Amino acid sequence: MDDYLNDQTNQYKALSEDYSQWLGSLLRDSEDAGKSAALQKNMRSSAKKNMDTVRSSKKKAEGKSKKDQNSGWIQAGDVLLCSTEQGEAEILFEAIEEINKKIQSLEKFRATLQQIERIGPGKNVNYIIYIKDDVPEKIVVRNKSNGQDHESFSFAGDFTVEGLQR
């Protein structure tokens, strides 16, 4: 489990760094410093608003407000579309925020797992871990039955491949 947590954390940190560099490049390439500062300010305020809009798009599909129309985003089914630098920056900002939340969740889970190990449930236990969106959320700690080290479940299957000709 520790290897999984390290791998996931490192992958998300690398992705966050890539997106941060992309966002920084986008902001630096803005025509002038005033536009870049305005873009950063608008991006932060409208990023959360647009996430809420996406989540409740079915409710707002019929009666969209003028403010949403003026922000550069247009509704296309359940998806919002935009063709502006501000839209690109908003998406990057939201992605970085979500990735950083996952990194924090992974680190909190690692700390919790270390606390459980310190308590010392023993070597005669199995852990069942529920992972949602690459982040562990729940742990079940079960004693191994009679000290036997056996699998809880197994898989057997027959596979048939049709249509191969030589």
pLDDT in tens, 149-158: 555 556 667 6
Of 26-30, 63-67, 153-157, least confident by mean pLDDT is: 63-67
Of 56-65, 85-94, 143-152, least confident by mean pLDDT is: 56-65
What's the half-sphere exposure (Cβ side, CA atoms, 13 Å) at 30?
20
AA letter at 30: S
**Coil, strand or helix: which one is 61?**
coil
Distance of alpha carbon 19 from the chain centroid:
13
Which residue, 147, 140, 103, 106, is CA-closest to 124? Answer: 147
What's the half-sphere exposure (Cβ side, CA atoms, 13 Å) at 61?
8
Bridge partners of 136? 131
Measure the CA–CA gap between 59 and 27, rounded to whole angstroms. 33
Q: What are the residue boundaries of the structural domains of the chain, listed by start?
A: 2-106
Contact 18, 92 (CB under 8 A): no
DSSP designation for 79: E
pLDDT in tens, 73-87: 999 999 999 998 889
Q: Is the pTM of this model over 0.75?
A: no
Measure the CA–CA gap between 107 and 101, rounded to whole angstroms. 10
Contact 134, 8 (CB under 8 A): yes
